[in-house]
């Protein structure tokens, strides 16, 4: 399973990269705004800076919502760097744009997916990735992980190559559940990825090993 980090924060992207577990980055307009990145030139430079840190895929989201505008914006984003994947919302013009980008060899991430039907449409349009938002479904008392299971079943039934990129992942158990189901990718904040490291028995065991070693060495 690939690990993407869901942030536009360069320090956190570097930290995840240095851990050796980073396979890519996802951003969205809210995450860019959170880092104070506004204006076309700054946005473009920020995507380039992200691509310099990771050698994996970097999702860059279009802001427009009509077919012609999404095509123009997506083509410009794709030209920025070979690692850029154009992130397109699951709306009618978005599906049409994904089909167009696919025909031009431009990779896409279909975002804001909340149902199996939407995921089926994304795959039929040829999306490289589909992003079901697990945490936001959980937030409205709907089982986000059930959607990952449903999409896995549907894609396997027909051999769709679209990769399931579980998004809106909020905590380490989401990551474990996605791995058990067979999601291809998770995208999560650094805190959720780093939380996989933690176990009190590891900390206690290490402290004991080091103490025993020091005692034996007469320190």
Nearer to ligand E4P among residue 30 and residue 157 (C-beta): 30
26 is an interface residue for ligand E4P by CB under 6 A: yes
6 is an interface residue for ligand E4P by CB under 6 A: yes
152 is an interface residue for ligand E4P by CB under 6 A: no
Q: How far is the CB of 83 from ligand E4P (least distance, A)?
A: 16
Read off the tokens for 175: 């990551």
- Token look-up 């994304």 returns 122
Binding mask 159-198 for ligand E4P (x = CB under 6 A): --------xx------------------x-----------
Among 201, 196, 114, 167, which Cα is nearest to 7's?
A: 167
* Region binding ligand E4P by CB under 6 A among candidate stretches 99-107, 128-136, 141-149, 202-210: 128-136
Pick one of 3, 100, 101, 133: the residue that binds ligand E4P (CB under 6 A).
133
Nearer to ligand E4P among residue 179 and residue 207 (C-beta): 179
Q: How far apart are CA 9 and CA 15, in angstroms?
A: 10
Q: Count the Cβ atoms, other than its own, within 10 Å of residue 43.
A: 19
136 is an interface residue for ligand E4P by CB under 6 A: yes
Is 87 known to be catalytic?
A: yes
> At residue 187, what are phi and psi to the nearest 5 degrees?
-120, 130
Q: How far is the CB of 203 from ligand E4P (least distance, A)?
A: 28
Buried b (16+ CB within 10 A) or exposed e, 119-135: bbbbbebbbbbbbbbbb
Pick one of 111, 128, 162, 163: the residue that binds ligand E4P (CB under 6 A).
111
List 2, 87, 104, 215, catalytic entry: 87
Dump the DSSP string for 21-54: ---EEE--HHHHHHTT--SHHHHHHHHHHHHHH-
3 is an interface residue for ligand E4P by CB under 6 A: no
57 is an interface residue for ligand E4P by CB under 6 A: no
Based on C-alpha coordinates, what's the Rg of the chain? Answer: 19
Nearer to ligand E4P among residue 12 and residue 111 (C-beta): 111
Read off the tokens for 157: 């039934």
Burial of 188 from C-beta contacts in 10 A (0-12 / 13-18 / 19+): buried
- Which chain residues interact with ligand E4P by CB under 6 A? 6, 26, 28, 111, 131, 133, 135-136, 167-168, 187
Q: Which residues are catalytic?
A: 87
């Amino acid at each position: 399973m690939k690990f993407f980090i869901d942030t536009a924060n360069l320090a956190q992207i570097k930290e995840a990269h240095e851990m050796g577990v980073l396979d890519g980055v996802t951003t969205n307009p809210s995450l860019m705004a959170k880092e104070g990145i506004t204006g076309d030139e700054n946005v473009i430079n920020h995507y380039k800076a992200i691509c310099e840190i990771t050698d994996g895929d970097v999702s860059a989201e279009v802001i427009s919502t009509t077919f012609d505008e999404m095509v123009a914006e997506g083509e410009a984003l794709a030209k920025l760097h070979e690692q850029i994947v154009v992130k397109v919302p699951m709306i009618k013009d978005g599906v049409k744009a994904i089909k167009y980008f696919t025909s031009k060899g431009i990779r896409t991430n279909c975002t804001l997916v909340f149902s199996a039907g939407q995921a089926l449409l994304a795959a039929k349009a040829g999306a490289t990735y589909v992003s079901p938002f697990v945490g936001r479904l959980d937030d409205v008392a709907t089982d986000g992980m059930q959607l990952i299971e449903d999409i896995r079943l549907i894609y396997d039934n027909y051999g769709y190559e679209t990769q399931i990129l579980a998004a809106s992942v909020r905590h380490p158990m989401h990551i474990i559940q996605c791995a058990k189901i067979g999601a291809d990718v998770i995208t999560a904040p650094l805190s959720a990825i780093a939380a996989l490291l933690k176990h009190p028995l590891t900390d206690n065991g290490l402290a004991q090993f080091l103490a025993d070693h020091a005692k034996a060495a007469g320190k």
